[in-house]
Chain A
């Protein structure tokens, strides 16, 4: 099921361009996250948001910004892309009751910065 969707799925861009990656969810979760995955480094947290008015920096937020437009939407922006931001980017969500420990991941966006 496509409870967490990401657009685009693939993107190639040039150094210096502004890029926005979008995430939408239909799970009704308050909490949303952006991670990047690099080979051999696992997943690292970029930003997270516990509700529409709450935005927090993660481990590697430099060079990125986010916008929580609504409960269901959380966008990640690269204001001026650089080659070492080439990576696989994942959005995730989690709830605050029931299976609150579990994060649900989108399919990922593969970004290449030339």
Chain B
């Protein structure tokens, strides 16, 4: 079946450090891939997405590239800020398009 595996947290970084959160997936066909972010006390918000192989999603300085050969969609940011502290979820939507399948989430904590 479809599944998403992302690195366990928490990830603790200093401001301006480089961030990578790994995400790999298992799915048949060509799923759409997403990163959602959950700030403290809030619901999830879409951060970025990619719908086909080699697509790069980007938003707010975050990037992720859809790598079909390695079934990965790793999230990166060159210089994190304290305001980036949140829980990040990798997710996929399969071609049947029923609903999203989420990873377990990775907590990022950035200190000044």
Contacts and interface: CB of A to CB of B under 8 A. Distances in A.
A92 B43 CA distance: 9
Interface stretch (A12-20, A66-74, A77-85, A99-107): A99-107
A43 B46 contact: no
Contacts of B102: 42-44
Nearest to A33: B99
The secondary structure that dominates the B interface is strand
Contacts of A106: 43
Contact of B44 (A40, A48, A90, A101): A90
Nearest to B90: A42
A40 B100 CA distance: 17
A28 interface: no
A42 B43 contact: no
Interface string B38-79: 000111111001010000000000000000000000000000
A101 B34 contact: yes
A33 B45 CA distance: 15
A52 interface: no
Contacts of B45: 105
Nearest to B106: A42
Interface string A81-114: 0000000001010000000011101111000000
A42 B104 contact: yes
Given A101-B93, A105-B43, A42 B103 contact: yes
Interface of B: 32, 34, 41-46, 49, 51, 89, 93, 98-105
The 5 closest A-B pairs by CB, nearest first: A105-B43, A42-B104, A43-B102, A42-B102, A105-B44
